[in-house]
Structure 1
Amino acid sequence: MRLSVILPAKNEAEGLRLTLPRLRAAQSDAELIVVDDGSTDDTARVAAEYGARVLSSPYSMGNGAAIKRGARAASGDVIVFMDADGQHDPDCIRPLLDKLAEGYDMVVGARDWTGQAGVHRGAANAFYNWLASRMTGFEVKDLTSGFRAVRADKFREFIHLLPNGFSYPTTSTMAFFRSAYPVAYVPIPVAKRLGRSHLRLLRDGVRFLLIIFKIATLYAPLKLFAPTALLFFLLGLGWYGWTLSTESRFTNMSALLFSAAVIVFLIGLISEQITSLTYKRDE
């Protein structure tokens, strides 16, 4: 079984100087791929000096785009994705691979609360984990962790679904659950990153809010649309009951709310069919 380790990197020269020697010592036979996402520092040079295969972009395309480029280029049967900023311990790759050998198709390194980058990020990730667990019916311990081991052939089935931004872990995890590929979690320690984070609270907060809706639409759209349609229907029913008792009439607002309930439910049905066709095509 050949192993490929992919590290997306944007201005991570400092982190790579720490990570790559430890990675080579932990996995001496692994193919190391550093995807330089339009860096303006010495990221590409440092990666090459430590023997990694470097894939460089002329400009920044995003973390997810780097993951996709690396996955297409990797020759290994198993791919490990990890950060280049020193947060992930290369020695933790072995537990991920051991768990993968038990019959899983994806194994995710799960952080505890101390491994979260701040209280707001920890609270947001806890909410995402709860929502994903409700959607899938399985316990999701860390939906957004970027440290994971996957079977390459399974992962490439979903490359076209992955966004170019920061939500590739969410998308790939939900895609594996949706396709009945077993997923497991292994607890990992997380160190403080070297250098500056590329996440911005306001900008990426909006993006992560969209992840909530993407979780639902990727896995089971009706689980999102059906409760929304029911809410509109109950609001319409309640308003109709009020106007009937006070004015003895059926108002335009009640008609609007009932119509919205029907429209939202039908959109959910269409989305469910599109989702089914998408995964059927992948299979």
Structure 2
Amino acid sequence: MRLPNDTAPQELKQDMNETVAQNDTSAPVDPAQPPMSLSVVIPAYNEENAVRATVEDVREHLAPLGIDYEIIVVDDGSQDNTRAEAEASGAIVECNQVNSGYGASLKRGVRRSQYEYVAILDADGTYPARYLPEMLEMCRHQDMVVGDRGAAMKNVPLLRRPAKKFLFAFASFLAERKINDLNSGLRVFRRSELVPFLPLLPQNFSFTTTITLCMTSNGKRMVYTPIEYGKRVGKSKIRPIDFINFIILILRISTLFNPLRVFIPLGLAFMVLGLVKLIYDIYIGNLSETAVFAFLAAIMIWSLGLIADMISRLHLRP
């Protein structure tokens, strides 16, 4: 219940104003800071039932900020009325002539963007745009801000949850930091920090996973913020085979940016295997070539890891 201004104590009125300011994500957190411009990239493939509502949701939450912004919808060769709905919404529309993939659409939108800060979100209604103002303000002191779906991912099928947990744990181990949400589709990042990685980013759904691993492996400033994750409009376009592709992608990116994280444990496994076999051979009094091969394999793997690390440090770090 709100107290009248003439009866509320000064401290209480101040606390109430601070609480309102913290909960109001439609305004910048610190008005004293200079305004920030934002490009919003929305990839869309056969999303005629949701793309216009998504654009309107973004505009509704960015317009009150009084900042320069643009909304770019990339139609990925849709076979329905996605392009017409996007154009009717008033957004800037880029079109792929054929279905090129989620990542290809995002890369096209990022290249088309004109502002330093870029946000991405899906066109299927799963990511509410109300988080964009807060995430944009957070990005003032970060290189990327990621929407953490967390426990809100209640609509993930039970059969896919163990695979996702394994994938997150595996990626966190290779990246040497906890990754709360590996492939969240709601992010705000600095364009200048992402552009050097564009040649490495894939054309398909692995785009967001690759961004996460590229940023973490290169020591970029990245934070998570909790968000709600809604039920999508339409059908999911992710296939079961994409899980295997994600594993291959994580290994590839980690080998590219942090190869010793892969090669050292692998070589250590062969070294331990060789030691165990050597002790067993000494015990039975018959030294076999298996222990020797295991030791040689460990040395070769570690050597390859050192070479890969040298190449990574000299050529692949932006």
TM-score, length of structure 2 as denominator length: 0.81
Greater shift after overlay, 215-224 or 74-83? Answer: 215-224
- Partner AA of 1:45 in structure 2: A
> Does 2:61 align with 1:21?
no
Greater shift after overlay, 65-74 or 162-171? Answer: 162-171
> Does 2:242 align with 1:204?
yes
- Partner AA of 1:265 in structure 2: W
Mapped partners of 2:165, 2:315: distance in 1: 28
> Does 2:267 align with 1:232?
no
Question: Where do residues 2-151 of structure 1 align in structure 2 (5 Å cutoff)?
Answer: 2-28=37-63, 29-101=68-140, 103-115=141-153, 117-151=156-190
Aligned residues of 1:3 and 1:77 also touching (Cα < 8 A): yes
Corresponding position of 1:164: 203
Greater shift after overlay, 223-232 or 271-280? Answer: 271-280
Name the % identity.
34
Greater shift after overlay, 54-63 or 240-249? Answer: 240-249
Corresponding position of 2:311: 274
- Partner AA of 2:177 in structure 1: F
Gaps of 5+ in 1: none
Q: Secondary structure at the match of 1:19?
A: helix
- Partner AA of 2:183 in structure 1: T
Given candidates 254, 263, 279, the residue that maps to 1:216 is 254
Aligned residues of 1:179 and 1:279 also touching (Cα < 8 A): no
Q: How many residue pairs are counted as aligned between the two chains? A: 278
TM-score, length of structure 1 as denominator length: 0.91
- Partner AA of 1:107 in structure 2: V
Mapped partners of 2:274, 2:219: distance in 1: 38
Mapped partners of 1:274, 1:44: distance in 2: 44
Larger radius of gyration: 2
Mapped partners of 1:124, 1:218: distance in 2: 24
Corresponding position of 1:256: 293
Q: Structure 1's 122 and 27: CA in aligned 2 closer, same or farther, altered over 3 A?
A: farther
Instruction: Quote how far apart the aligned CAs of 1:74 are.
Output: 0.5
Instruction: Give CA deviations for 1:40-78 in whole Å, capped at 9, x if unaligned.
Output: 111111111111111111212211111111111111111
Instruction: Give CA deviations for 1:71-90 in whole Å, capped at 9, x if unaligned.
Output: 11111111001011110101
Query: Which 4+ residue blocks in structure 1 deviate beyond 4 angstroms?
Result: none
Gaps of 5+ in 2: 1-35
Mapped partners of 1:175, 1:209: distance in 2: 15
Instruction: Quote how far apart the aligned CAs of 1:108 are.
Output: 0.2
Aligned residues of 2:218 and 2:257 also touching (Cα < 8 A): no
Q: Structure 1's 146 and 121: CA in aligned 2 closer, same or farther, altered over 3 A?
A: farther
Please give the root-mean-square deviation of Cα atoms over the aligned residues, in Å: 1.9
Instruction: Give CA deviations for 1:78-131 in whole Å, capped at 9, x if unaligned.
Output: 100101111010111112112112x11100000012325223444333333333
Mapped partners of 2:174, 2:310: distance in 1: 17
Q: Secondary structure at the match of 2:77?
A: coil
Aligned residues of 1:237 and 1:254 also touching (Cα < 8 A): yes
Aligned residues of 2:117 and 2:188 also touching (Cα < 8 A): yes
Given candidates 219, 233, 245, the residue that maps to 1:180 is 219
Greater shift after overlay, 151-160 or 136-145? Answer: 136-145
Q: Secondary structure at the match of 1:55?
A: strand
Instruction: Quote how far apart the aligned CAs of 1:162 are.
Output: 0.8
